[in-house]
Amino acid sequence: MPDLADLYPGYESRWIDTSAGKIFARVGGNGPPLLLLHGHPQSNVMWHRVAPLLAPHFTIVTADLPGYGWSAAPVAQADHAPYTKRAMAAGMVELMQALGFVRFRLAGHDRGGRVGYRLALDHPGRLEQLAVLDIVTTYDMWHCFDATLATRAWHWTFLALPAPFPETLIGHDPKSFFDSRARAGAKAKDAAIFDPRALAHYHAAYDDPTRIHAMCEDYRAGRTTDLVHDEADRTAGKTIGCPVLALWGTTGLPANGGLDPLALWREWATDLRGFAVESGHYLAEENPDATAKALLAFFAP
């Protein structure tokens, strides 16, 4: 990708070898460790408006998931690993351990939230607390899929179609595809909600066919292996052992897809709190002050 603006001045850049491939992360701030994970179709830079508000209280680690941003985009296996949330979660545990953090807090938006709750389920004891932004579980998304949700989350089925169909269509005009998804998720229905420097990062990733394919593999994993993992845990009655904060945008997908986020999360988390933030889907970029305030109140050391 071309040279892009540094949205984390003073932060250290790290590339860490993990079982999910080489992971890129920025590290800065002071205090107990807090891992921030992004969603689709973004990268670690989505936290650039929130991180300065959290950094006085936490050591911030903001990482790119496999196939996103500056992280490696390995060839997918038959089960779509390393783009399964189980494989991504294992990679994040290895990343944090390499940085010297055995236990940590985690806030994840969108796909990053899915990695977060999978990490909590697969690696009990690793997370002090978990915050998930504008999602319900993959289990609940697929089991609640109806006409209402389908009109808001059509990309779930489109991106999960077999290769190379979605990759080919996106590749004809990747910038337009990104901007259409961004506008749909934003409360203002305008990609101008993003800092132009962050938008340049996102557009650059969408110009890379390898990363477009990786993002599709992420959604293929969600339709298959991730769903199987969630269904197995649901059948077994497995729940998240740490406190959970669920935040969602007032015009985000859970609130406007016919879902009840708190009711659904109560099936997965025994220690749960949550509320809506005045925002669309992109809470950290549309309303960073309210998002940071909510995270600080929850994660307070």
Report, as residue numbers or ranges, the catalytic residues. 110, 281
CB 68 within 8 A of CB 211: yes
- Look up tokens 């909590």; give the residue: 120
Phi, psi (degrees; rounded to nearest 5) at 9: -60, 135
